[in-house]
Amino acid sequence: RHKFWETQPVGQYKDVGDFTLIEGPIEPPTPLSEVKQEPYNLPAAYEWTTCDMDSQETCDEVYLLLMNNYVEDDENMFRFNYSKEFLRWALRVPGYYRSWHIGVRAKASKKLVAFITAVPARIRVNDEVVKMAEVNFLCVHKKLRSKRLAPVLIKEVTRRVHMENIWQAAYTAGVVLPTPITTCQYWHRSLNPKKLIDVGFSRLGARMTMSRTIKLYKLPDSTVTPGFRKMELRDVPAVTRLLRNYLSQFVVAPDFDEHDVEHWLIPRDNVVDSYLVESPENHDITDFCSFYTLPSSILGNQAHSTLKAAYSYYNVSTKTPLPQLMNDALIVAKQKDFDVFNALDIMHNESFLKDLKFGPGDGQLHYYLYNYRVRSGMKPSELGLVLL
Ligand code: NHW
Ligand code: EN5
């Protein structure tokens, strides 16, 4: 069934529900001297390239490859359109390796035709903090599909990760592969229902008119929680403490230090937004919420070309009830002109999804680990990790 994945150190279907298998690496690291020194072979017309995301020109090429060839929904109505600034943020992370930003070019035209990336991360699985690679942005040009190029890209990124003495990875996909550690559901909260319906992202409910629908999704003009404000650089120590403490309860979660928090959570225009609640009494930072900006191209609509979507990122509540905190996040997202607010059913998100009028989407997101086994039957609510 999976000619490539059957050969890889990932949980295999035959192992699902086998509780005798213990948690941890599937295979041990090999000595670095035994890691293949040369890149894997590509079909003769193609060559490897390392993509320097500091270069405006390379960043433009990557942006265009993804804009035209990256992930679509199951009916090919929308395609992710990660911005250049977003790609820079996602790829130039603390301790990143330029060699992990891998492209494939046509030798003749030098055109970029495929891409895959990894960035380093410390991920905790139960009691172990494991150095991993987070793999993302795997993309093969539409004209080169089904030629088994993806396994070559995956083997090459694996080789380059091994060269840095890292032996595990985390990744997500909308497709089922051997074998998910858990499967999450996408939920959507309409902010601009008229546009969502016009472009086919959502439908008018039964016995609903447009004006009743607009009224249903109306939000207050301003946030309601006293002390709710944008996160600033001076908040990094407090937010790190809040987040580390919160994430400690999940089975799989990132092990963020202050450098990570500064990179991943300091607000960046049109990339990531973070808000917190500072107690008006004692100035304690008690709650935190964040979302990232990921527009989608609307394929073949006359009136609209982009759908502006916010994706729930990391949220922590200790004083403000999570539904109230997230309602404030919806209010700022609406102020910033987002059309929809998306969230997965991970962490404690289920506690606000229904109350805040999110509805389940038609997409799922499967989470995977490479060369690491975890107890099977993990629930999405036990997951504390968001990948972009
Ligand atoms: S998921 C988004 C992936 N990208 C897209 O969906 C973009 C649009 N599609 C494409 O560009 C987020 C192509 O369809 C792709 C496949 C390139 C997806 N993950 O070349 P062939 C990520 O980026 C397997 C993993 O003929 P293609 C995460 C498939 O099962 N494997 O197909 C990426 C089959 O293998 P099998 C995937 O359609 C994580 C083989 O590829 C996959 O022309 C990567 C077919 O290859 C997917 N999303 O190209 C893994 N989609 O065994 C990282 C298909 O079933 C692992 N396949 O025969 C860790 C590495 C690091 C380890 C470090 C220790
Ligand atoms: C990982 N880094 O399918 C990325 N999105 O539900 C790779 N559906 O937007 C993995 N089909 O349900 C990506 N509207 C996997 C996801 C790929 C993209 C995808 C889904 C997630 C999505 C929308 C549009 C469907 C269009 C037709 C959807 C319904 C919204 C409705 C709003 C009102 C309340 C009920 C729900």
DSSP states along 148-186: SHHHHHHHHHHHHHHHTT--EEEEEESS--S--SEEEEE
Q: What is the pLDDT of residues 362-375, one digit of tens each?
A: 999 999 999 999 99
ipTM above 0.95, yes or no: yes
Mean pLDDT of the chain: 97
State both tokens at 127: 């009691």
Between the CA of 232 and the centroid of ligand 2 the distance, in Å, is 32
Closest residue (by CA) to atom 27 of ligand 2? 75
Whole-number Å distance, alpha carbon 304 to ligand 1 midpoint, is 30
State both tokens at 9: 């150190």
Selection from 180, 115, 100 nearest residue 346 by Cα: 180
Residue 16 has pLDDT above 90, yes or no: no
pLDDT mean over 127-140: 98
365 assigned to active site: no
Number of other CB atoms surrounding residue 298 within 10 Å: 21
Cα(203) to ligand 2 centroid in Å equals 13
Do 349 and 326 lie in a common domain?
yes
User: Which residue CA neighbors atom 25 of ligand 2 most closely?
Assistant: 201
Is residue 55 domain-shared with residue 198, that is, in the same domain?
Answer: no
Q: Can you tell me the mean pLDDT for 94-118?
A: 98
Answer whether residue 65 is part of any domain: yes
**Closest CA to ligand 2's atom 30:** 202
pLDDT of the residue at 19: 83
Residue with the smallest CA separation from ligand 2 atom 7 is: 173
The domain that contains 73 carries what CATH number? 3.40.630.30
| 273 domain residue, yes or no | yes
Ligand 1 nearest atom to the CA of residue 117, by list position:
23
Q: Which residue is closest in CA terms to ligand 2's atom 19? A: 73
Binned at pLDDT 50, 70 and 90, residue 289 comes out as: very high
pLDDT of residue 284: 98
* Dist CA 331 CA 224 (whole Å): 9
Q: Do 53 and 101 contact (CB within 8 A), yes or no?
A: yes
Q: Which residues contact 65 (CB under 8 A, 6 or more apart)?
A: 112, 113, 114, 115, 139, 141
Rounded-to-integer distance, Cα 319 and Cα 354, Å: 21
317: left (phi over 0), alpha (psi -120 to 50) or beta: beta
Q: Over 90: is that where the pLDDT of 160 sits?
A: yes
Centroid of ligand 1 to alpha carbon of 43 (angstroms): 17
Residue 20 pLDDT greater than 90, yes or no:
no
How many domains are there within the chain? 2
- Mean per-residue pLDDT for 351-356? 98
86 touches ligand 2 (CB under 6 Å): no
Does residue 195 carry a pLDDT above 90?
yes
- Residues 45-104 pLDDT 10s: 999 999 999 999 999 999 999 999 999 999 999 999 999 999 999 999 999 999 999 999
Q: Indicate if the pLDDT at residue 130 is higher than 90.
A: yes
Interval 125-132 mean pLDDT = 98
Pocket test for ligand 2, best of 187, 201, 346, 358 (most atoms within 8 A of CB): 201
In a domain, 388, yes or no: no
Question: According to DSSP H, which parts of the chain are helical?
Answer: 56-69, 84-91, 149-163, 193-198, 210-216, 236-247, 258-265, 322-335, 350-353
> In this predicted structure, what is the pLDDT of residue 381?
98
The SS3 call for residue 260 is helix
In this prediction, residues 122-139 reach a mean pLDDT of 98
Q: Which of 174, 203, 235 is the last residue of a domain?
A: 174
Last residue of a domain, one of 151, 174, 197: 174
Per-residue model confidence as pLDDT tens digits over 291-306: 999 999 999 999 999 9
| Atom number, ligand 2, closest to the C-alpha of residue 365 | 15
Give 129's pLDDT tier (boundaries 50, 70, 90).
Answer: very high
Residue 163: band (very low, low, confident or very high) from pLDDT cuts 50, 70, 90: very high
Shared domain check, 320 and 199: yes
* Mean pLDDT, rounded, for 218-246: 98
> Is 311 within a domain?
yes
Residue 226: which of 266, 172, 274, 284 has the closest Cα? 284
Q: Are residues 92 and 199 in the same domain?
A: no
Looking at the fold, whether 201 and 94 belong to one and the same domain comes out as no
Ligand 2 pocket, mutate which of 69, 78, 217, 345 (most atoms under 8 A from CB):
78
Same domain as 14, residue 54: yes
Helix (H, G, I), strand (E, B) or coil at 377: coil
Our answer on whether the CB atom of 286 is closer than 6 Å to any ligand 2 atom is no
210 and 268 part of one domain: yes
Phi, psi (5° rounding) for residue 218? -60, 145
- For residues 365 and 220, state if they share a domain: yes
Tell me: do 157 and 194 sit in the same domain: no
The residues with which 383 forms a beta bridge, in sequence order, are 252
In the DSSP assignment, the letter for residue 346 is -
End-to-end CA distance of the chain: 28
What burial class does residue 188 get, using C-beta atoms within 10 Å of its C-beta: 0-12 exposed, 13-18 middle, 19+ buried? Answer: buried
Residue whose entry in the numeric block shows the structure tokens 């001297």: 33
Residue-level pLDDT at 17 = 84
21 confidence band (pLDDT: 50, 70, 90): confident
- Asked if 70 and 79 count as a contact pair (C-beta separation under 8 A), the reply is yes
Range of the domain at 213: 183-382
- Residue 225 and residue 167 share a domain: no
Residue at a domain's end among 139, 174, 209: 174
Q: List all residues 6 or more positions away from 354 whose beta carbon is below 8 Å from its beta carbon.
A: none
CA of 344 to the centre of ligand 2 (A): 11
- Name residues whose C-beta falls within 8 Å of residue 290's C-beta, 6 or more positions apart in sequence: 231, 265, 272, 273, 274, 275, 312, 313, 314, 315
- Check pocket membership of 38 for ligand 2, CB cut-off 6 A: no
Amino acid at 115: F
179: pLDDT confidence band, cut at 50, 70 and 90? very high
pLDDT at 219: 98
DSSP state of 268: B
Question: For residue 178, how far is its CA from the centre of ligand 1 (angstroms)?
Answer: 12
Closest to 258 in 3D by CA, of 273, 274, 243: 243
Q: What span, in angstroms and rounded, lies between the C-alpha atoms of 261 and 233?
A: 10
Q: Please indicate whether residue 197, judged by its CB atom, sits closer than 6 Å to ligand 2.
A: no
Nearest to 360 by CA among 200, 196, 184, 208: 184
Residue 46 phi, psi dihedral angles, 5° rounding: -125, 155
Residue 76 CB less than 6 A away from ligand 2: no
Q: Are residues 17 and 61 in the same domain?
A: yes
Closest CA to 252 of 85, 384, 88: 384
Measure CA 269 to chain center.
18
Q: Are residues 353 and 216 in the same domain?
A: yes
DSSP character string of 300-311: T-SS-SEE-EEE
Domain-embedded: residue 85: yes
Looking at the domain assignment, is residue 387 inside a domain?
no
What's the gap between Cα 158 and its chain centre?
20
